[in-house]
Amino acid sequence: MQILHIPCLEDNYSYLIIDEATKEAAVVDPVEPHKILRVAEENGVHLKLVLTTHHHWDHAGGNDKMKQLLPDIEIFGGSVDNVQGCTNKVENGDRFSLGADISILSLHTPCHTKGHISYYVTAKEGDVPAVFTGDTLFVAGCGKFFEGTAEQMYQSLCTTLGSLPKPTQVYCGHEYTVKNLQFASTVEPENERISQKLLWAQQKRRTGLPTIPSTIEEEFETNPFMRVDLTEVQEKVGCKSPVEAMREIRLRKDNWKG
């Protein structure tokens, strides 16, 4: 399995997931269709699937054009998310395949939107699994609670995504890592892993490189929203439960001027 980053718009990422045996590919959130097709052509791959994480225009806005350009392409999206151009509505736990070796599992991760789907992708033995988290889980952050609650985000981050194997690579929808880590360091100023990763991320961005992927393990070490089960994090924000801490940290992030 090969995964290619495609920077789009101001700070979005689309991704090409390539089955190397067949050269068949899926694209995640192809908001700039012509750019996606150019990258697919340069890499000699045949686009078969669109994996849409959620209905917001900067993720689903290219779907109709993709369908126009490639009439046979299948467009996946959450069954309750009203995704533009969707031909295949998916629920939590639905599985489908790409090429010879790739298996894709749909995970319902609501809160940012009601029907947000993350896609957990596995290939042949020895390949590290990947999860495409759209705007639910960012590197060191999470999406705004536009259509859901702190309870839902806790379930989506800490239970659903948090139960994936620790080495799973996390590919999210935006390049927000530096800002997220700067905020994370206001929650846990003495967390060395956050300080180290912030320096690393700043260096990456200075040279124009992406800070993605992260891993589930790294998120548990550096992402305040995935650390809410820890008593010390709850105490830092004056809370007594993980969900309360999730709500409080999101509120602080929304009002943070960093």
- For 131-144, what is the mean pLDDT? 98
pLDDT of residue 258: 82
Query: Going by DSSP bridges, is the β-strand pair 141-142/12-19 parallel, antiparallel, or unpaired?
Result: unpaired
Q: Show the domain range for 163.
A: 2-255
Q: Which residues are catalytic?
A: 54, 56, 58-59, 112, 135, 174
Mean pLDDT confidence for 174-188: 98
Instruction: For residues 206-229, give the mean pLDDT.
Output: 98
Which residues on adjacent β-strands are paired with residue 45?
none
Number of structural domains, the chain? 1
3-state secondary structure the chain: CEEEEEEECCCEEEEEEEECCCCEEEEECCCCHHHHHHHHHHCCCEEEEEECCCCCHHHHCCHHHHHHHCCCCEEEEECCCCCCCCCEEECCCCEEEECCCEEEEEEECCCCCCCCEEEEEECCCCCCCEEEEECCEECCEECCCCCCCHHHHHHHHHHHHCCCCCCCEEEECECCHHHHHHHHHHHCCCCHHHHHHHHHHHHHHHCCCCCCCEEHHHHHHHCHHHCCCCHHHHHHCCCCCHHHHHHHHHHHHHHCCC
Across-strand partners of 2?
18
Q: What is the pLDDT of residues 52-91, one digit of tens each?
A: 999 999 999 999 999 999 999 999 999 999 999 999 999 9
Short-list 77, 146, 68, CA closest to 114: 146
First CA to last CA across the chain, in angstroms? 38
pLDDT at 14 > cutoff 90: yes
Q: Which of 89, 117, 87 is nearest to 105 (CA)?
A: 117
d(CA 134, CA 174): 8
pLDDT for residue 94: 98
Could you give the CA distance from residue 232 to residue 178 in angstroms, rounded to a whole number? 23
Q: What percent of the chain has pLDDT over 90?
A: 98
Give the pLDDT band of residue 124 (cuts 50, 70, 90).
confident
| pLDDT of residue 190 exceeding 90 | yes
Query: Which pLDDT score is estimated for 125?
Result: 85
Q: How confident is the model at residue 126 (pLDDT cuts 50, 70, 90)?
A: confident
Q: Write the CATH number for 199.
A: 3.60.15.10
- Helices 177-187 and 242-255: crossing angle in degrees, nearest 10, is 120
Mean pLDDT across the chain: 97
